[in-house]
Amino acid sequence: MVRPARTPDVRAVRALTAPLAERRVLVAKEAVAYYEGLPELVVAEAGGRVVGCGALHVFWEDLAEVRTLAVADEARGAGVGGLVLAELLHRARDVGVARVFCLTFETRFFAAHGFEEIDGTPVEPEVFAELLRSHDDGVAEFLDLARVKPNTLGNTRMIRYLDEDARAHDVARQRLPRTAGGTSPGLPGAPGGAGQTGRPGQRGSA
């Protein structure tokens, strides 16, 4: 069963995600961040135990990220991750988002769920500038900022389009997913990009 997380689930979620964060498979977060992010978190429960979790974090009007997606070792390969992801994509549709980003080593899993590999940061330069104001490490990873480079090494950037118009729009802007158009030219005109090191009003790490 996949359901919205409740505060008593946070300990189990942290236990699931801590070893993955240590290996830099997931973004490391302070305990308080899990409580603050509770409304965006779902858990998969089996036999009264939390065996999986995942969250949908909205970045912008038409953009969200799947994060904190993890399944307990002993429960993997049985469809739990797929159910959690399906719930997060359902939430994305519900809140009006048609582009769902993820940064992952699990490319086969995400590709099986309709995600496509991308290069660059598929947002308008104005939106990029606004996102730079975020204090969230996931946003920094999406923007590919230098300060999070050690976290992103070896990961693949992927996106799932929930409607064809959004995809057609990005294709027209030459944000071609590699799978659809060969080598992507990345995002033309995005300020900063890989070389960006700071954010306006930065308060330190999230």
Ligand X SMILES: CC(C)(COP(=O)(O)OP(=O)(O)OC[C@H]1O[C@@H](n2cnc3c(N)ncnc32)[C@H](O)[C@@H]1OP(=O)(O)O)[C@@H](O)C(=O)NCCC(=O)NCCS
Residue in 15, 31, 46, 78 binding ligand X, rule: CB under 6 A: 78
The answer to whether 114 contacts ligand X (rule: CB under 6 A) is no
- Which tokens in the block code for residue 106? 């699990």
**Three-state DSSP class for 49?**
strand
Binding ligand X (rule: CB under 6 A), the pick from 53, 56, 63, 102 is: 102
- Interatomic CA distance for residues 134 and 206, integer angstroms: 9
Given 46, 112, 168, 180, the residue binding ligand X (CB under 6 A): 112
> In the set 81, 138, 177, 192, which binds ligand X (CB under 6 A)?
81
Does the footprint of ligand X cover residue 80 (CB under 6 A)?
A: yes
DSSP state of 109: H
Other Cβ atoms closer than 10 A to 9: 20
Rounded Cα distance between 102 and 144, Å, is 12
For ligand X, the binding residue among 82, 114, 125, 193 (CB under 6 A) is 82
Question: For residues 36-75, which are near ligand X according to CB under 6 A?
Answer: 66-67, 69-71
Instruction: List b or e across 170-196, with b for residues whose CB sees 16 or more CB atoms inside 10 angstroms.
Output: beeeebbbeeeeeebebbeebebbeeb
- 105 near ligand X, rule: CB under 6 A: yes
Q: Footprint of ligand X on this chain (CB under 6 A)? A: 20, 25, 66-67, 69-71, 76-82, 102, 104-106, 108-109, 112
